[in-house]
């Protein structure tokens, strides 16, 4: 099948499919001789579905590569797979906690302004402007890579 069909089958865009091929996440497609169009078989469809499912789980490309590698080595132990999923789950949980703290802060901030008046009297602006920094501890961020994290995995 051609790329448009693959895109529709997997709920993905053709641009993303080309991107995945470019970054090596998806193997290169066969090409037609007359017009160089990409052609995909069942294996590519399976792989792309796998990748998209991992993406819906907010896994990074690196994590996905690791799972794909494990999939290609069926005799190896599945310990690393279990660990990867468990660690990813911890990242997600950490991010949830961060956002819940943020939610609380925003609720408190929103309550600083009780009615509509001039901006000069707005409790929200006053709070954001206050000299006292004690209510504004910079939150200690997690190492979660899950989107929204303030820390990316180091590549060193």
Partner DNA sequence: TAAACACCCTGAAGTCACTTTAGGGTCAAC
Partner DNA sequence: GTTGACCCTAAAGTGACTTCAGGGTGTTTA
Q: Which residues of this chain interact with a second copy, rule CB under 8 A?
A: 11, 46, 49-50, 52-54, 56-58, 67, 70-71, 73-79, 81-82, 85-86, 88-89, 92-93, 95-96, 99-100, 102-103, 105-107, 109-110, 113, 116-122, 124-125, 128-129, 133, 136, 138-139, 146-150
What is the Cα–Cα distance from 26 to 51, expressed in whole angstroms?
8
Q: Choose from DNA, a second copy, none: what does 19 bind? Cβ within 5-8 Å by kind.
A: DNA
Nearer to a second copy, 138 or 156 (CB): 138
Nearer to a second copy, 10 or 29 (CB): 10
Nearer to DNA, 35 or 134 (CB): 35
What is the Cα–Cα distance from 95 to 118, expressed in whole angstroms?
36
Q: Are 44 and 27 in contact (CB under 8 A)?
A: yes
What is the Cα–Cα distance from 94 to 106, expressed in whole angstroms?
19
Closest distance to DNA from the beta carbon of 130 (Å): 20
Q: Which of 24, 17, 32 lies closest to 9, judged by CA?
A: 17
> Quick one: tokens of 137?
């501890």
């Amino acid at each position: 099948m051609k790329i448009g069909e693959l895109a529709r089958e997997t709920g993905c865009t053709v641009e993303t499919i080309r991107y995945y091929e470019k970054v090596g996440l998806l193997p290169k497609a066969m090409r037609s001789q007359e017009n160089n169009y990409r052609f995909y078989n069942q294996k590519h469809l399976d792989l792309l579905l796998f990748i998209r499912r991992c993406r819906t789980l907010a896994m990074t490309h690196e994590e996905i590569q690791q799972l794909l590698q494990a999939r290609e080595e069926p005799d190896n132990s599945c310990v690393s797979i279990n660990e990867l999923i468990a660690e990813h789950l911890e990242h997600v949980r950490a991010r949830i906690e961060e956002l819940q703290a943020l939610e609380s802060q925003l609720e408190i901030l929103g309550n600083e302004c009780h009615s509509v008046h001039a901006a000069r009297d707005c409790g929200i602006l006053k709070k954001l402007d206050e000299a006292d920094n004690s209510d504004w501890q910079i939150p200690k961020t997690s190492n979660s890579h899950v989107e929204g994290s303030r820390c990316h995995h180091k590549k060193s």
